[in-house]
Structure 1
């Protein structure tokens, strides 16, 4: 060709704040923690923080800037997760993004009948198996609250069902440390013991400070338990602009960051170097409805800012994308999910939740929406690969060979490269007459068909001895 061209790649990138704004947000965060602090009543937590140099006055803890920055330095810059076979599959580092489904919905939309009902243990099993079948979701969460089991046992029964029907790394939440211990014991059993777990943690615990700036005792208990056992911890407040955090987006980001980093300080004091994941579910209060919006584009804006703060701190982040305020798998749901997913991928959020079923502002699981969000994630992943520039892809020689007025259909170059185009079973591109001849199948019908096919999947069954041990564990739960 006469020109030497190395292979050049570029990952598309989005920034919502610049370097000066990042520094301003950081210093404002330090000021909030040093001047305002957080509320905490947990005796051991207060003892640890006071002994490390925090000003503790009653239940108010003020954290000096140097202690926050010391915790940031000690926290790992990467966290690697593994599946139940011990394979390292999720690498939370830099701007790599891994999308997965969300947790704790109370209702279920049946893809067969499109009837809404309370979420049950059977739904847990169905949705976990569906997630196992969807390759663009390399991790998952516990999905929903089982309405058909005793409330005091529900968190552990749901965790058991999800780990049985999906082999991927699990993000779980639970009501107290006893539950966290039981889930941890199940994880150790399934992944082959603590040595394997430490090489590639199979579970991640999700915990929330209460906005604004409050830690309740059970959350501190779980935070310390995770730090001591090196269970990766997501410390993830959910502030609502105009309600539980400032109405300004910058103020909401500052408070969100302060809430997450305050937990990091205690976490790293308890066990320096224990794996920690930063972030916040920062969105708006819809002043027309008062709902905590899951589809607001402002949520993506603030999530993007927090992702950039995480990259500045070199700490992995738990992001949010793929949710909707819609009650149905309709145009609103698709538009909100697509906007959020592409924004999160382009800004480089790491562990991105809500891409499967969080509808009706966090109350409804829909397997069809999970499959749709999975398709959108694949589109975003394809887009984020960018355009490879090399001597082969610039194609100057083949352009010259075909010349003006020719075509490329029979060229070897075309055969070598056309499969890099993404094709979908859900989004069709037929001419209208061909679409009619094929049965006039509409989008929602194709989505339902693909969803029901995917729901036939089941992972490899657990050994009988493992199932027996799980039964024995469950019988001892209090």
Structure 2
């Protein structure tokens, strides 16, 4: 198992206990009085069998009693394993923190040219090997967006490519409903059977409702298939203030959680005890540019608040950080990434996606992922806080060194100096070079990883089977 080495000992809160209770009450009121527009025959059937009523406008109202029952059965802890069946991420409300990046995306910032180009199938190997070898990247997202693969089979092809080159947990999403079961079956093949995968899942699903207050059949079916297969699922409304949510943070949080709690009810009616991870993206709709910002300070303030709501329900929270609205690796990008990582460490988020995502989720930067790993490492040292007790307040040491002395020869210095953070990419030289070397060092690291880790680490027989499956899908769209 990966040694967990993040401590968060800084006291921080966005919401008071009273505010959390108020948002919870508002969320339940939305569900009971305003209701949700829910589609999907078998999901609606389950809701109706459990006392819900859908009116002539297709609005289904959900009682707070049903929410209470769902919160009693939903697991308070989700353990996600690596491909080798070792526990890798323990997700709960105990303040553990894990970061993830993308295995594929619409576009990529080419590491040689620093310019954007379409993401290609072959780039998945690059992204997976980078993530595999960074100690602060714990999972990748396989989202099915390679430009040189037919959209009809992108999700499956991207997932297989990710499986080949990545041993840590995989967060997958799909372009259609049918693909979910196919991906789960492929993962079961690698795991050694469906029961093994259910017992030690190394995959978890990502899906979304459609704010405001809408859960289409595509979303409820994804919840359904995740629940019956006992695969952990993230349910994450993307609420943009002024667009798909009110221009008001408190009300937006209430809307978000009414949608999230609906997802919890659905999964627990399908399969009580089905693993569920709360996600929320309460951002802003930028009125100047009409984009949903990934770097707005309001977005990350509300993510921190949403993580506190998840903690109130004693459930793990899926957040967002280390991304930028900038298209290039400029001052804006590094400022935004740093601020978000810092905010995340102060929050109660447990598993955090979108590391290295640029241009409001249009592209991914391999170099930014490497640099973000360095920023995360620095933040880990800040978040440990300062322990003050009789053992740490050593006045005898000050007395021994005396006035005008130094501590270089003291045993405590020798014993503890390695507890300080020493950067790998950033410079603290006595005499710094005239030009920044951060980009070039990151690129050199990436090139060495690709040279020193050729091919896949999967068993040859499994790899051959995956290649056969992949070819079948590729041939189906010729």
Tell me if TM exceeds 0.5.
yes
Deviates more, 1:341-350 or 1:127-136: 341-350
Instruction: Name the structure 1 match of 2:429.
Output: 430
Deviation, structure 1 residue 390: 5.1
Structure 1: how far apart are the matches of 2:173 and 2:194?
A: 20
Structure 2: how far apart are the matches of 1:34 and 1:214?
A: 15
* 1:87-123 deviation digits (Å, cap 9, x = unpaired): 0010101122111114763111111121211001111
Q: Does 1:34 align with 2:32?
A: yes
Q: Is the 8 A contact 1:144 1:365 kept in 2?
A: no
Q: Does 1:452 align with 2:450?
A: no
Partner residue of 2:438 out of 420, 435, 443? 443
Instruction: Name the structure 2 match of 1:192.
Output: 192
Deviation, structure 1 residue 391: 4.8
Deviation, structure 1 residue 476: 4.5
Structure 1: how far apart are the matches of 2:11 and 2:102?
A: 25
Instruction: Name the structure 2 match of 1:22.
Output: 20
Structure 1: how far apart are the matches of 2:25 and 2:341?
A: 29
Report the TM-score, using the length of structure 1 for normalisation: 0.93
Q: Is the 8 A contact 1:29 1:255 kept in 2?
A: yes
Q: Is the 8 A contact 2:81 2:169 kept in 1?
A: yes
1:8-407 to structure 2, matched below 5 A, reads 11-58=9-56, 59-94=58-93, 95-102=95-102, 105-142=105-142, 145-355=145-355, 357-389=356-388, 391-407=390-406
Partner residue of 2:460 out of 455, 460, 464? 464
Report the TM-score, using the length of structure 2 for normalisation: 0.93
Structure 1 unaligned runs (5+)? 1-8
Deviates more, 1:229-238 or 1:420-429: 420-429
* 1:203-244 deviation digits (Å, cap 9, x = unpaired): 000001111111221222111111011000101111110001
Structure 1: how far apart are the matches of 2:231 and 2:8?
A: 34
Deviation, structure 1 residue 196: 3.1
Secondary structure of 1:332's aligned partner: helix
Secondary structure of 1:151's aligned partner: coil
Secondary structure of 2:333's aligned partner: helix
Q: How many residues align?
A: 465
Secondary structure of 1:141's aligned partner: strand
Structure 2: how far apart are the matches of 1:337 and 1:359?
A: 10
Deviation, structure 1 residue 398: 2.1
Instruction: Name the structure 2 match of 1:5.
Output: none
Q: Is the 8 A contact 1:198 1:230 kept in 2?
A: yes
Deviates more, 1:11-20 or 1:389-398: 389-398
Q: Is the 8 A contact 1:245 1:252 kept in 2?
A: yes
Secondary structure of 2:379's aligned partner: helix
Secondary structure of 2:303's aligned partner: helix
Structure 2: how far apart are the matches of 1:103 and 1:451?
A: 15
Structure 2 unaligned runs (5+)? 1-6
Secondary structure of 2:101's aligned partner: coil
Q: Is the 8 A contact 2:294 2:324 kept in 1?
A: yes
Q: Is the 8 A contact 2:144 2:157 kept in 1?
A: no
Q: Is the 8 A contact 2:144 2:154 kept in 1?
A: no
Deviation, structure 1 residue 405: 1.1
* 1:64-101 deviation digits (Å, cap 9, x = unpaired): 11111221221111101000000001010112211111
Structure 2: how far apart are the matches of 1:214 and 1:164?
A: 36
